[in-house]
Amino acid sequence: MAECQRSLLQAQRKALPIASARDALLREIRSHDCCVVVGETGSGKTTQIPQYILESGLGRKGCVGVTQPRRVAAVSIAIRVALERCCPLGQEVGYSVRFDDKSSPATKLKYLTDGMLLREAISDPLLSRYSVILLDEAHERTVHTDILFGVVKTAQKIRSEKQLKKLRIIVMSATLAAESFSNYFNKAKILYIQGRQFPVEIFYTAIKQQDYTHATVTTVLQLHEDSEKKGDILVFLTGREEIESVNSLLTLCKVMFPSDWLDMIVFPFYAALPTKKQQDAFLPARGGARKVILSTNVAETSITIPNIRYVVDCGMVKAKGYNPHIGLDLLSVQPVSKAQARQRAGRAGREAPGACYRLYTEDYFAELLNDTVPEIQRSSLSSVILQLLALGISNIVEFDFMDPPSEESLVRALEQLYLLGAIETDSSEEGVKLTALGLKMAQFPLEPSLAKTLLSAGEHGCGVEIVNIVSMLSVDSVLFTPQDKRERALESRRKFVSPDGDHLMLLKIYRAFKSVKGNKSWCHENFIHMRHMSTVMDVRRQLTELCGRVGVELGTGGAECSEGVRRALIGGLFMNIAEHAGEGKYLTHKTRQQVYIHPSSCLFHVKPHPPCVVYSELVYTSKCYMRNVSVVESDWSTTPTTPR
Ligand code: CDP
Ligand code: MG
């Protein structure tokens, strides 16, 4: 690395608000086994505290692990810290996220998603390789973080009782609700880091906006037009499709800018973006142009992009919601909480006074919930319970939750796991235990229903096919449809369409990709995301390896696999069956929820409507839609196989 870049990075490190608190922080961390660190986003918690610990030798008896709720944060922060420490990624500094591990035995500082640390705890409940664990972004309260609280707390206690190596726990958060964390962690010491926060002026719209993407474009253009306004613009939207559509609208408008206007460069920022592109958003724009960053809520707290003076907030967020009555996990666009809206606004005042434009009215803000509800209270728990059982925690109800989920969700999840054949009642103690099948299922980083599908595929002679399909399902859609070439894209897609549905279509695409050996121009001609396909190949390799490790014979159905594949899908997704009830409306099996085939499905236009279908997931937009749908016969056994 160039010497000047190195000294620049070191100078940046020293200039962070946290740098002056370094010694005081280390003193406190040394003398307390549990600490809660609260500090304004961007003050340097995530990148610096782990390095201070490393440099002080506090963590020398093991590895320092830092958890992140988001994969994109874990990766980008590890890259940044490796750069600051002048070491190649995967050596002293590394990361580990689902299906992507850049760590080695030499790694002393590891950024990992909370889900990955939970997975490690399955084979090592005392987390013995770690000397310090930092649970970052604790205010996000993801299911995995909440479970980790209990796991890490227990590991610390047992290690201390058995006089093993000490485990230090540091909980980090950007908000002030530190007391509840402190109380939970045995009255942990709370440390506040002084951040820099300049005033941020808040603007609301006078009337309710019908279309916030349109309002976003107008607001960004108005801000950009004003040459008095210096600094970059950060826009909060809900997801990738929205971001890309605003991106193309802004790019279209740019062509019409008068020549004396400042240039404007738009950077999308979301999890599925290639790492290189994510990194670009951190760099100053060429020739003093204005940057406009279109981000999901990842830029709320996990990621800090320098030079932001204006924030545009659509007021919505894509989040998981769970309805225990109908047993559905729904990813939907919901209003943010007041805490989230304030946090978003705060991003404008890091380096100088700024402004935040809320694309909603002040009355709307007044009605928002104060705080975001912990995810554990709004999501399906079957995957979590499977992991808890794999961790050896059988009495789920007694688990030390910071905020326990509702009893109804717990019961639902247990019921689903029971039907999947993953658990059985434990006669010797109160509680339940994993079956041999459940133990295998827990090894897979997949939803229990998909893990079951995969494990039971062998019975239908199509293991290889199911591995391929599951790999295709685990990435964002591999198909892309550019607005200006829509017709051609749809036309080229026709050859992949299967009368049996989307899962078989995904298999066809996978096979076609394989037969041309991943040829780049083939992908281009067929409107297939090359990069997503390489992720698919990578996931596929790892799933195949896992199958080998747990002793699953895969077997292949060859060309005539369609029925076997769909029967295998039912094997795990038997909760996701819906029957046609006239005019395109479907009713889910058991819960009788109204659902529709998603417009992106290859069955969307099929008439007559298939009488019975199985789907991979539900998405809720204007209606409740089934995504990735296949035709099944209603008399194919929908009763699950008995536990083994
Ligand atoms: O965790 P916290 O929000 O307190 O801050 P951080 O993530 O440690 O980031 C500290 C500073 O490092 C930010 O203000 C950014 O200016 C800088 N940073 C960066 O330039 N590039 C990154 N990939 C990450 C951080
Ligand atoms: Mg942070």
Task: Supply the DSSP string of 416-483, one letter for each residue.
Answer: HHHHTT-EEE-SSSSSEEE-HHHHHHHTSSS-HHHHHHHHHGGGGT-HHHHHHHHHHHTSS-SB---G
pLDDT of residue 148: 94
CA distance 131 to 159: 11
Å from CA of 318 to ligand 2 middle: 21
Å from CA of 22 to ligand 2 middle: 16
Three-state DSSP at 150 gives helix
Instruction: Quick: pLDDT tens for 109-123.
Output: 999 999 999 989 988
CA distance 390 to 105: 25
Residue 327 has pLDDT above 70, yes or no: no
Position in ligand 1 atom list of the atom nearest CA 172: 1
Percent of the chain surpassing pLDDT 90: 61
Residue 94 has pLDDT above 60, yes or no: yes
CA distance 450 to 616: 9
Mutual angle of helices 448-456 and 562-573, in 10-degree steps: 140
Indicate the residue type of 249: L
- Sign of the alpha-carbon torsion through 500, 506, 507, 512: positive
Do the Cβ atoms of 240 and 476 come closer than 8 Å?
Answer: yes
CA distance 34 to 32: 5
Å from CA of 510 to ligand 2 middle: 38
Extract the tokens encoding 546: 């896992």
Minimum CA distance residue for ligand 1 atom 16: 306
Report residue 350's pLDDT band, with 50, 70 and 90 as the boundaries.
confident
**Contacts of residue 366, Cβ cutoff 8 Å, sequence gap at least 6:** none
pLDDT, average across residues 153-182? 93
Å from CA of 97 to ligand 1 middle: 20
DSSP 192-223: EE------EEEE--SS--S-HHHHHHHHHHHH
Å from CA of 40 to ligand 1 middle: 11
| Nearest one of 121, 146, 137 to 36, comparing CA atoms | 137
pLDDT of residue 229: 87
Is residue 41 lining ligand 1, measured as CB closer than 6 Å?
yes
Ligand with the closest atom to the CA of 69: 2
Is residue 68 lining ligand 1, measured as CB closer than 6 Å?
no
Instruction: Quick: pLDDT tens for 233-260.
Output: 999 999 888 999 999 999 999 999 998 8
pLDDT of residue 568: 94
Is residue 47 lining ligand 1, measured as CB closer than 6 Å?
yes
Is residue 139 lining ligand 1, measured as CB closer than 6 Å?
no
Chain centroid, CA 334 distance in Å: 16
CA distance 506 to 467: 12
CA atoms within a 13 Å half-sphere pointing along the CA-CB vector of 462: 23
Percent of the chain surpassing pLDDT 70: 96
Position in ligand 1 atom list of the atom nearest CA 303: 7
pLDDT of residue 130: 97
Instruction: Quick: pLDDT tens for 467-516.
Output: 999 999 987 788 988 878 889 998 999 999 999 999 999 999 999 999 99
126 by Cβ neighbours in 10 Å (0-12 / 13-18 / 19+) ranks as middle
| Nearest one of 314, 353, 349, 352 to 334, comparing CA atoms | 314
pLDDT of residue 37: 96
Is residue 643 lining ligand 1, measured as CB closer than 6 Å?
no
| Domains of the chain with CATH codes | 2-193 (3.40.50.300), 200-375 (3.40.50.300), 380-439 (1.10.10), 448-636 (no CATH)
pLDDT, average across residues 60-76? 93
Is residue 195 lining ligand 1, measured as CB closer than 6 Å?
no
pLDDT, average across residues 80-85? 95
pLDDT, average across residues 49-69? 94
pLDDT of residue 129: 96
- Verify cis geometry, omega within 30 degrees of 0, for the bond prior to 608: yes
**Contacts of residue 301, Cβ cutoff 8 Å, sequence gap at least 6:** 41, 137, 139, 140, 174, 343
Å from CA of 171 to ligand 2 middle: 11
pLDDT, average across residues 273-297? 88
Indicate the residue type of 34: C
pLDDT of residue 91: 96
pLDDT of residue 436: 94
Three-state DSSP at 501 gives strand
Q: Widest CA span of the chain, in angstroms?
A: 79
pLDDT of residue 225: 93
Instruction: Quick: pLDDT tens for 406-449.
Output: 888 888 889 899 999 999 987 766 678 999 999 999 888 788 99
Extract the tokens encoding 421: 């054949």
Å from CA of 48 to ligand 1 middle: 9
The mean pLDDT of the chain is: 90
The phi-psi region of residue 320 (left if phi > 0; otherwise alpha if psi is between -120 and 50; otherwise beta) is beta
Residue 643 has pLDDT above 60, yes or no: no
Å from CA of 47 to ligand 1 middle: 6
Three-state DSSP at 23 gives helix
Q: Which of 45, 77, 135, 304 to mutate to test the pocket of ligand 1 (most atoms within 8 A of CB)?
A: 304
Is residue 315 lining ligand 1, measured as CB closer than 6 Å?
no
Report residue 7's pLDDT band, with 50, 70 and 90 as the boundaries.
confident
Ligand with the closest atom to the CA of 41: 1
Minimum CA distance residue for ligand 1 atom 23: 80
Residue 637 has pLDDT above 50, yes or no: yes
pLDDT of residue 430: 63
pLDDT of residue 641: 47
Is residue 50 lining ligand 1, measured as CB closer than 6 Å?
no
Residue 644 has pLDDT above 50, yes or no: no
CA distance 60 to 69: 25
Residue 452 has pLDDT above 50, yes or no: yes
Contacts within 8 Å (CB) and 24+ apart, 633-638: 634/579, 636/566, 636/567, 636/570, 637/570, 638/570, 638/574, 638/577, 638/589
Position in ligand 1 atom list of the atom nearest CA 39: 4
Residue 321 has pLDDT above 90, yes or no: no
pTM of the model: 0.80
Q: 153: how many CB neighbours lie within 10 A of its CB?
A: 18
Which residue has better confidence, 274 or 134? 134
| Nearest one of 68, 644, 144, 135 to 383, comparing CA atoms | 144
pLDDT, average across residues 224-229? 88
pLDDT of residue 116: 93
Å from CA of 24 to ligand 1 middle: 20
Residue 638 has pLDDT above 80, yes or no: no
Is residue 46 lining ligand 1, measured as CB closer than 6 Å?
yes
Is residue 48 lining ligand 1, measured as CB closer than 6 Å?
yes
pLDDT, average across residues 386-407? 86
From residue 131, alpha-carbon distances to 75, 155, 165, 185, 630 in Å are 21, 11, 7, 17, 48
For the ranges 173-182, 230-239, 354-363, which has the lowest average pLDDT?
Answer: 173-182
CA distance 274 to 120: 26
Å from CA of 136 to ligand 2 middle: 7
